[in-house]
Structure 1
Amino acid sequence: MTTVDLGPVRTARQVPYFLPALIAVVVMAVVTVTRSSEFIDGGWKLVLVYASPLVLLAMAQTPVVLSGGGGLDLSVGPGAGLVSVVLAAGLIANDISVAWIVILAALAVGAAIGALNGTLVAIVRIPPIIATLATYLVFAGIATQVLSSPTGYLPAWMSWFTDVDGVVPNILWVILGVGGAWWLLSRTAYWRNLRMVGSNDRAAYTAGVPVTAVRFTAYVLTGAMVGISGLVLTAVLGGADAKVGPTYTLLAIAAVALGGISLAGGRGGLLGAACGAALLFLIQNYLTLTEASSFVLQAAYGVVLVVAIVINGAWDRKRKSS
């Protein structure tokens, strides 16, 4: 009997989707250390704090991308900016600054943002890129209308998010908390259904999976994480600025592609998104250390995004053909 060696194919299938991004993060961290020894002496803590909004927004992008159907949320940046504006200009500025109220408000506004996007995409059936581009403009416009100029007053408890005096920065616990909640979700039937819908929604529908509900829930999950991102963004900025949020949108998408998450849906997770975001921020940090111009930085982002999408697509095709 003739046997076929499937070793390389099996190896390709078994490589964790996030591994290339994780290796790249380690390599980039080593390169950064060679440029600045302060990075290893504690500078990495500040880098993580400033990178945290991007890391969380990349993680937030993940559920909708996994849901397939061209799932992509262009509104995550303006959504986080709107949450930040609501907290800083709507609650905190009016002396409503109790921790649990502010946190619940962030989650509620974020979930409402996700529910709106989910309704447009999953129920009304508007293509995700069109629906979320529309809400991108709406959220950015509302945020600018509510807060025309930056504000900088925050309650004392919010400084906890940016505290780096411990062994690890406090913001790491927030990121791990989101990751832990996602890990628990991955042990439920919803995770299996999400991957099925993302991989092949027609087959999932035939198998009895409620495709519309699964996709709608993915957008709500994304919205809830956008709410957390907006809360953290407020703490990192030391206030709110309506113009900052939108700048994170394309970077969050690039981070997802860099993290090995299939843009076609059905494969990936938050770890890959976090690694992709960390890699992007480390590249930015290194270019800043080398005193590169803002033009070079933007060009680098563009090149990284194109390379990430090309590699992501090629890897998907290889896995499907094997």
Structure 2
Amino acid sequence: MNTINSDTRLPRSPKTPNSVEAPYSLHKQSLGQILRNDLGFLPVLLTLIVIAVFFQITTQGLFLTPRNLTQLVLQITTIGTLGLGVILVLLLGEIDLSVASVATLCSVVMGILSERMGYPAWLAILAAIAAGAFIGLLNGFFIAYLHVPSFIVTLAASISYGGLLIYLLQGQATLIINNDFIIGIANNYQSGLFIGTGLPLLVLAVYIGGVVYITRRRQQMGLRATHSLHLAATIGVPSLIVIGSLLLFHAYLGVPQALFILAGLILLTWLLLTRTAYGRHVYAVGGNAEAARRAGINVVVIRITIFTLCSTLAAIAGILAASRASAVASQINPTLLLQAIAAAVIGGVSLFGGRGSVWSILLGALIIGSLENGLDLNNQPVEVKQMIEGAVLVLAVTSDALIRRAQMRSGR
């Protein structure tokens, strides 16, 4: 058996060819490993491109027009915000089936306070968000403290909240919102040079600077360098998306204000999960709750706060939906829950917990929104849209299960 004297390793510099980085050399990775480890978002991106090209052809060039793409973005803001909360719950390996009901209920709370009781818009919005947070706290209590399965708790909650919103509306099917501030949340556009163009470019520049800084720090510390393909995609793809989106938006009315809200929520959630100890604890609990508990992590608190955040985001999603429709209704959208879960899973978040990024909700929501938008442009009935979206969700879950099984076999 070959042995290596540990003393012979001490004089070696991390930058020399014989350094400890050698076992992780990129040249020893297969193409499949590189794609799986570094470019895992590419299949989702390619799927989105295929969908866009298909509908561009079948709609005679209507799909990629600035006006339609702006409407598509407005359409996915509710799905994206709702799916962002779903991602948080999925990272724990749990599920929340009440998000669509919570979104509708909280929008009804806002509508009643604003239209029937005459409260200021800002107070009605805060009350709706607070109602969502309380609902999530209640769900988390049953799940974390009483150890009732999240599937049962949130399913029962969904049924109960559906009845509660009908009771609050007192038999009224639709409540029209006339408050200009609430209507403007999802219907205003930013076309100015500073906010409409400068702010997105500034955020992009900060993002690129952060990626370059982290890459150089890893190299200085002797850690494995990011593969060049991954680095190029990490910088290039967001740059193309941001610049291309700005050109399209400004060719119509400007950048939708709702998109700024969604991007801001994703950014804050990403910072919470990746730059704080709390975020590391969330991933740890999702990976192995018992190991996290033995490591000193308060699993109960993590679960309660995540369900609270999920329902809070659901409340914001309901506010965006009510703003865009200028009304709240007693009828819960039957496909909203499916779309939110599908957007999260299609984006790459694991149903088994502990793996996924909040940024994936953008690609997932764009795929779901593009399917629905393109089918609408082709005058397809509701049943066709539901069958296709259901099939896409099954494919995404199957892919997640197969990838996880392959990783377990390889010892990852």
Give me the TM-score of the superposition, normalised by structure 1.
0.92
In the alignment, the residues of structure 2 paired with residue 163 and residue 23 of structure 1 have an alpha-carbon distance, to the nearest angstrom, of: 31
1:12 Cα offset (Å)? 4.6
C-alpha contact (below 8 Å) 2:287/2:354 kept by paired residues: yes
> Are positions 1:205 and 2:296 aligned together?
no
C-alpha contact (below 8 Å) 2:140/2:308 kept by paired residues: yes
In the alignment, the residues of structure 2 paired with residue 171 and residue 86 of structure 1 have an alpha-carbon distance, to the nearest angstrom, of: 20
Determine the structure 2 residue equivalent to 1:60: 85
C-alpha contact (below 8 Å) 1:159/1:235 kept by paired residues: yes
In the alignment, the residues of structure 1 paired with residue 257 and residue 47 of structure 2 have an alpha-carbon distance, to the nearest angstrom, of: 24
The verdict on how the C-alpha distance between 1:243 and 1:16 changes in structure 2, with shifts beyond 3 A counting, is farther
In the alignment, the residues of structure 2 paired with residue 9 and residue 278 of structure 1 have an alpha-carbon distance, to the nearest angstrom, of: 26
In the alignment, the residues of structure 2 paired with residue 106 and residue 43 of structure 1 have an alpha-carbon distance, to the nearest angstrom, of: 30
SS at match of 2:125: helix
C-alpha contact (below 8 Å) 1:93/1:153 kept by paired residues: no
2:68 to 43, 63, 70: 43
C-alpha contact (below 8 Å) 2:121/2:182 kept by paired residues: no
1:24 Cα offset (Å)? 2.2
C-alpha contact (below 8 Å) 1:118/1:217 kept by paired residues: yes
C-alpha contact (below 8 Å) 1:28/1:282 kept by paired residues: yes
C-alpha contact (below 8 Å) 2:114/2:179 kept by paired residues: no
1:13 Cα offset (Å)? 4.3
In the alignment, the residues of structure 1 paired with residue 46 and residue 323 of structure 2 have an alpha-carbon distance, to the nearest angstrom, of: 30
How many residues were matched structurally? 318
Counterpart code for 2:81 = L
Give me the TM-score of the superposition, normalised by structure 2.
0.73
1:73 to 96, 101, 112: 96
C-alpha contact (below 8 Å) 1:59/1:274 kept by paired residues: no
SS at match of 1:74: coil
In the alignment, the residues of structure 1 paired with residue 277 and residue 140 of structure 2 have an alpha-carbon distance, to the nearest angstrom, of: 20
Structure 2: which 5+ residue stretches go unaligned? 3-22, 192-253
Determine the structure 1 residue equivalent to 2:139: 117
- Per-residue CA deviation, residues 25-73 of structure 1 (Å, 9 max, x unaligned), is 23323333332534323221112112221121111111111012xx000
- Per-residue CA deviation, residues 181-231 of structure 1 (Å, 9 max, x unaligned), is 112202100110000100111111111111111111111111111111111
C-alpha contact (below 8 Å) 1:123/1:212 kept by paired residues: yes
C-alpha contact (below 8 Å) 1:51/1:278 kept by paired residues: yes
> Are positions 1:131 and 2:156 aligned together?
no
Q: What is the percentage of aligned positions where both structures have the same residue?
A: 30
The verdict on how the C-alpha distance between 1:12 and 1:43 changes in structure 2, with shifts beyond 3 A counting, is closer
C-alpha contact (below 8 Å) 2:51/2:371 kept by paired residues: yes
> Are positions 1:291 and 2:366 aligned together?
no
> Are positions 1:140 and 2:162 aligned together?
yes
Counterpart code for 2:30 = G
C-alpha contact (below 8 Å) 2:85/2:314 kept by paired residues: yes
Moved more, 142-151 or 160-169: 160-169
In the alignment, the residues of structure 2 paired with residue 294 and residue 61 of structure 1 have an alpha-carbon distance, to the nearest angstrom, of: 24
C-alpha RMSD of the superposition: 2.0
Counterpart code for 1:221 = L
Determine the structure 2 residue equivalent to 1:162: 187
In the alignment, the residues of structure 2 paired with residue 20 and residue 49 of structure 1 have an alpha-carbon distance, to the nearest angstrom, of: 24
Counterpart code for 1:155 = N
The verdict on how the C-alpha distance between 1:18 and 1:222 changes in structure 2, with shifts beyond 3 A counting, is farther
In the alignment, the residues of structure 2 paired with residue 36 and residue 61 of structure 1 have an alpha-carbon distance, to the nearest angstrom, of: 35
In the alignment, the residues of structure 2 paired with residue 298 and residue 246 of structure 1 have an alpha-carbon distance, to the nearest angstrom, of: 10
Q: Which has the larger radius of gyration?
A: 2
The verdict on how the C-alpha distance between 1:299 and 1:64 changes in structure 2, with shifts beyond 3 A counting, is same
C-alpha contact (below 8 Å) 2:89/2:306 kept by paired residues: yes
In the alignment, the residues of structure 2 paired with residue 268 and residue 296 of structure 1 have an alpha-carbon distance, to the nearest angstrom, of: 30
Segments of 4+ moved more than 4 angstroms: 3-6
1:11 to 22, 26, 34: 34
1:226 to 310, 314, 322: 314
C-alpha contact (below 8 Å) 1:255/1:280 kept by paired residues: yes
In the alignment, the residues of structure 2 paired with residue 122 and residue 17 of structure 1 have an alpha-carbon distance, to the nearest angstrom, of: 32
> Are positions 1:173 and 2:197 aligned together?
no
1:279 Cα offset (Å)? 0.6
Moved more, 130-139 or 89-98: 89-98
In the alignment, the residues of structure 2 paired with residue 134 and residue 151 of structure 1 have an alpha-carbon distance, to the nearest angstrom, of: 26
In the alignment, the residues of structure 1 paired with residue 290 and residue 190 of structure 2 have an alpha-carbon distance, to the nearest angstrom, of: 51
In the alignment, the residues of structure 1 paired with residue 60 and residue 82 of structure 2 have an alpha-carbon distance, to the nearest angstrom, of: 27
SS at match of 2:175: coil
1:125 Cα offset (Å)? 0.6
